[in-house]
Amino acid sequence: MDIETAQKKVQELHDLLNQYSYDYHVLDKPSVPDAEYDARLQELVKLEEQFPELRTSDSPTQRVGGEILEGFQKVEHNTPMLSLANAFSEQDLRDFDRRVRQVIGEDFQYVFELKIDGLAVSLRYEEGLFVRGATRGDGTIGEDITENLRTIHTIPLRLKKRYSMEVRGEAFMPKRSFERLNEQKLEREEEPFANPRNAAAGSLRQLDPKIAAKRNLDIFVYGIGEIGDTGVKKQSEGLDLLDRLGFKTNRERKKCENIDEVINLLHEMQDKRQSLPYEIDGLVLKVDSLEQQEQLGYTAKSPRWAIAYKFPAEEVMTKLLDIELNVGRTGVVTPTAILEPVRVAGTTVKRASLHNEDLIREKDIKIGDYVVVKKAGDIIPEVVNVLVDQRTGEETDFHMPEECPECRSELVRIEGEVALRCINPKCPAQIREGLIHFVSRNAMNIDGLGERVIAQLFQEGLITDVADLYELTREQLIALERMGEKSVENLLNAIQQSKQNSLEKLLFGIGIRYVGSKAAKTLAQNFETMDRLMNASKEEVVAISEIGEKMADSVVTYFEQAEVITLIEELKSHGVNMEYKGPKLQAAEESDSVFAGKTIVLTGKLEQLSRNEAKERIEALGGKVTGSVSKSTDLVIAGEAAGSKLSKAEELNIEVWDEARLIEELG
């Protein structure tokens, strides 16, 4: 067979196998026996072996999983993957509806969709070809899991039209696949997965794509991240387009004229929930018109045009066997209920937080009680109430100790707080928890240093504070259980890389009381170096608009401690960066800045800057970046494939720049 004949045959097999796969996995209507599909696939495999140059990334043979990966690369989303605000009652939905009507009037429709319990992912296509898939991550930065996503048969590797676009979906494990997987784990005497969501997330974060390929994952695509030139003007139109392009969307969606229709559908789906072949944990409600979505806009965390209704938490009865004490990184001692294992909302629950002694007294909880347990938001187990009529008289009262359970220092209750706190700075539990916080994603983000490894290092005496992390050697790490050559190399590289983080990451990581990630960035932007912040007075700190008295007190007090000064000096000696690397705030006060005092909207794909970089630099020059175009917008920056926001700007005669003009003005 010559190359031209082979090329034609390969394309025929691509089209045939893609259609078979679409019929089977998306339409759930197999058009040929499995043996026929397997025979055609083997025919394609042999042709690609004979003519390797004809093997392409969109070939059906690429779904079996490729080579083992060394790690996951970080990916920045062009458009942030925002989370949705939650509703927990019908009244919450009616309040949402009222807020929508106050802004856009009565002439609109909703789209009602199921909230799939899985892992949110983004899928990027260039000229119709699947080029990248990523996790949601923190909404701005995710992980590149392209090779694992290729193994999901309901993700088309090539679209039916040559669109360049980004779509969002929820990858999940069907109930049947989950049950089969756990049966296999039990047969091998391995710990089963707690629920399908954990199983899906764990499968997509496997470094070996062949493992993901065996897990029978699925996906429902629920939206277009970048509309581009698709001509879509409504959420419902977007879903119909995704169907036509070959994606799998959830067919339970419906358009609703008013909130009463929504609530009726909600009751129907609650009854139908258990019979679905996949897990859902609620419903999603969206305003259908994209123009009206833009009009409603966004808060800092979520769109104002959508809301997620969470089903009421399942409540079950179990026995409270004991109460255990845990010491957190700030010294707070938290009582935890040890429960007789019980299934709640798809997982086995053995522990539940009791928060503090006052709550235990308020709910009259005794050791040995039968209690009702639920998961707050279907996530965090909590004790709802005690079944007093089940008591036998053998139950015992619980009393908080006077000493720290870890270091035996005296516990204190600070005025105005309900929690008991260990104030010994050398308490092992606080040090251990502080180390776990320091390496976490929003802090220094050191991949490979999870709780288990930190506990090992601490137990072996290899680390006693965060500075010790930068003294770890290959010889020390390779001696630890379950640490191979590659793991050690990756970990040491991650530790080295963390030295280059901007100052705000370090400030959040060292764990100053009341200073979260946002406040850490504000402090870093204003003081720019660790030394300036350490030497700042309370008056200088509190003068920053977003910093209150309580936080300013905490910051100044923290840096007055001799142990802290020593720690910072040690980190400096190890080469840890002590400067803010983002855009400088003082530029915001320059009177000649073209951005100062203006409201600006970014739309479309920027080539030279990420969306976040552009936003930070504009805001540093005194501009305010918002998510929607309105009469109050002063300027729109339009990148490639700008959609409805650009159209609206033109309708309102708002000034529009391209990226080249933006770069020029940013200097």
Active-site annotation holder among 9, 29, 115, 518: 115
Provide the strand spans (E) within 155-257. 165-172, 218-226, 254-256
Question: Residue 350, class by beta-carbon neighbours within 10 Å (0-12 exposed, 13-18 middle, 19+ buried)?
Answer: middle
Question: Residue 492: enclosing H or E segment and its boundaries?
Answer: helix 485-498
Residue 299 corresponds to which tokens in the numbers above? 């808060």
Q: Which of 132, 120, 116 is nearest to 83 (CA)?
A: 120
Contact, 194 vs 173, CB < 8 A? no
Q: Please report the beta strands in 274-354, taking only residues with DSSP state E, as ranges in sequence order.
A: 280-287, 306-310, 316-327, 332-344, 347-353
- The number of CA neighbours under 13 Å toward the Cβ of 41 is 17
Helix, strand, or coil (residue 331) = coil
Contacts of 346 (CB under 8 A, 6+ apart): 117, 194, 195, 196, 197, 279
- Between CA 632 and CA 618 the distance in angstroms is 17
> Six-digit token pair at 372?
């009702």
569-577 contact pairs (CB < 8 A, 24+)? 570/465, 570/467, 571/466, 571/467, 571/470, 571/506, 574/467, 574/470, 574/471, 574/499, 575/470, 575/499, 576/470, 576/498, 576/499, 576/506, 577/499, 577/500, 577/501, 577/502, 577/503, 577/506
Strand order in the sheet with 165-172: 129-135, 119-126, 165-172, 218-226
Tell me the H-state helices in 289-364. Answer: 290-296, 357-362
115 is catalytic: yes
Contact indicator for 271, 165 with CB cutoff of 8 Å: no
Tokens of 528: 């720019």
| Interatomic CA distance for residues 328 and 423, integer angstroms | 11
- Residue 224's φ and ψ, nearest 5 degrees, are -105, 120
Nearest to 355 by CA among 341, 340, 371, 335: 335
Contacts of 566 (CB under 8 A, 6+ apart): none
User: What are the structure tokens assigned to 589, written together?
Assistant: 């006060």
- Angstrom distance (rounded) from CA 556 to CA 27: 62
**Which of left, alpha, beta for 263 (phi over 0: left; psi -120 to 50: alpha)?**
alpha
Which is it for strands 119-126 and 129-135: parallel, antiparallel or unpaired? Answer: antiparallel
What span, in angstroms and rounded, lies between the C-alpha atoms of 101 and 92?
Answer: 14
Distance CA 505, CA 445 (A): 8
Residue 633, both tokens: 């917008």
- Of the candidates 631, 635, 642, 653, the one whose C-alpha atom is nearest the C-alpha of residue 606 is 642
CA distance 495 to 500: 10
Whether 117 and 280 have beta carbons less than 8 Å apart is answered as: yes
Residues 167/123, Cβ–Cβ less than 8 Å: yes
Residues with a catalytic annotation lie at 115
